[in-house]
Amino acid sequence: MADDKKSLLALVAIFVSLIGLLALATWFMLPLVADFFATYFSPGLGLRSAAVISFFVTIITLVIFAVAAGDGLLGELQFMLSAFLAFFLVIWLMLAWIF
């Protein structure tokens, strides 16, 4: 019975020291976590700037697609207009969300 009490006391002491070390490590890690949140969750690119960048990226991409398709810029105009809208919306919102 005395052996069990000693084992339990040693186990409790180990757990208390581990919890203390974890608390100390968390206390020392707080500045690093604050820097991480300040860097990666700060406001970035707004909707307006993302729209301008998205417009030019979409135009360049669709001109490359049209030239590579072989019909030129006017061959598939109805598809180019819908592709422009789809590309523009996706790139615009992804730029504003990610950056």
- How many CA atoms does the CB half-sphere of 91 hold within 13 Å? 20
Question: What is the DSSP annotation of 9-60?
Answer: HHHHHHHHHHHHHHHHHHHHHHHHHHHHHHHHSS--S-HHHHHHHHHHHHHH
pLDDT in tens, 58-68: 999 888 888 88
Contact 66, 84 (CB under 8 A): no
pLDDT in tens, 13-51: 999 999 999 999 999 999 888 888 777 767 777 888 888
Contact 41, 97 (CB under 8 A): no
**pTM for the full predicted model:** 0.52
